[in-house]
Amino acid sequence: MAFNVQEIRKDFPILQREVNGKPLVYLDNAATAQKPQAVIDCIVDYYSNYNANIHRGVHSLSQEATDAYEGARKKIQEHFNIKHAHEVIFTAGTTHGINLVANGFNKFLKKGDEIIVSALEHHSNIVPWQMLCERTGAELKVIPIDEKGVLILSEYEKLLSKNTKLVFVNHISNALGTINPIAEIIEKAHEKGAAVLVDGAQSCSHIKPDLQALDVDFYVTSAHKMCGPTGVGILYGKEEWLNKIPPYQGGGEMIAEVTFKKTTYAGLPHKFEAGTPNISGGIAFGAAIDYLNSIGFNEIEAHEHELLRYATDQLTTIEGLKIYGTGVDKTSVISFNIEGIHPYDIGTIVDKLGIAVRTGHHCAQPIMDYYKIPGTVRASFAFYNTKEEVDALVKAVKKAKTMLT
């Protein structure tokens, strides 16, 4: 079926509403994507028809819920081309998955070891590693960026050494939209015997990563960036790593046997899934993946690339507007400022015109420090956005500039 953005928009109830008396123009997709009716219906169906705890009951509702939840895990496995379903760990989101790995590496690091992050990271892929270094005495090193917001790979190669144990990098920068060359980053890290974790929170709504082809050790993402619900995500880990890492939390479901003398842990994936999970969220994550695949990631990528090109061309006609993140490989995110105007003020005015953008440092303060700015206005586009919405954004930004200068 041919890509038809107007038909796709009908799948999203929220896109039909108004904000401040204006039709909603939602351009904050890097923060969270909107939800199609199919995902909303999936959640309602679970609570209406087969709400029950999973893995624990012999009654019919529990079996139905378990089958649906594990079916979602299988969908995720197939979507990301993961070798084993038990390598898919359900989490509360990307941040949870990163912290799970960081906690697990307590036992593997010591003083003198080194871990590497990039200068493009979200705070959730900086702070856990700083905490890990504080606990273990390991040293944190940073891959620098250039003026275009692109990682300097020659500097990355210099940072790698026999002491490098872990490398962490996002697939796509949430603040700039830069697509990082993760295949090359992974390959060079593996040459030194280091493990690699990729933060895929910003990438998985735009592209379809093949995790076996990438040979990545860990990959994390969140459902809500992929048109799924909040409060659920996944950690992919290679089986050998997940078997070595200790459990992150103790409780029900993650045990094999409990006595007051000793507890033994369940096998994968349950070892890392203590307690009652976000059952409806996991099932709806599977529904979101079905929905995105029904549209097709080639079609999504092509449409979003055209929106990025068009929006870049239109916004750069505004005198004094500067875009941050101008690398060749980037996705549909435009971070910008207008000379002499605080980004918050622009965001406030365009909101009054019904347009939702993000302003601030986007949980990426080191990037803002590099450019010596307090933050940016960020417009982030999804496959359900249109050129007419880009036009509305440009008109609103021009109006804001007139009002504020």
Just list the catalytic residues: 363
Phi, psi (rounded to 5 degrees) for 89: -105, 120
Query: Where do runs of H (alpha helix) occur along 263-296?
Result: 279-295
Query: Strand 355-356 vs strand 25-26: parallel, antiparallel, or unpaired?
Result: parallel
Give the chain's end-to-end CA distance (angstroms, integer): 47
> Residues 92, 347, 323, CA angle at the centre, nearest 5°?
90
Instruction: Using CA atoms of 202, 207, 210, 211 in order, give the dihedral in degrees to the nearest 10.
Output: 0
Amino acid at 128: P
Environment class of 285 (CB within 10 Å of its CB; exposed 0-12, middle 13-18, buried 19+): buried
Give the full edge-to-edge strand order of the sheet including 376-380. Answer: 321-324, 333-338, 376-380, 358-360
Phi, psi (rounded to 5 degrees) for 76: -65, -45
CA–CA gap between residue 77 and residue 68 (Å, rounded) = 14
Distances (CA, A) of 278 to 68, 227, 259: 12, 16, 27
**Which is nearest to 275 in space by CA: 95, 92, 106?**
92
Name the one residue in this structure whose structure tokens are 């950690």: 235
CA–CA gap between residue 74 and residue 90 (Å, rounded) = 12
Contacts of 112 (CB under 8 A, 6+ apart): 137, 138, 139, 163
Q: For residue 34, what are its two tokens?
A: 């909107």
**Which is nearest to 290 in space by CA: 5, 3, 78?**
78
Strand partners, 199: 170, 220
**Which is nearest to 356 in space by CA: 29, 27, 18, 31?**
27
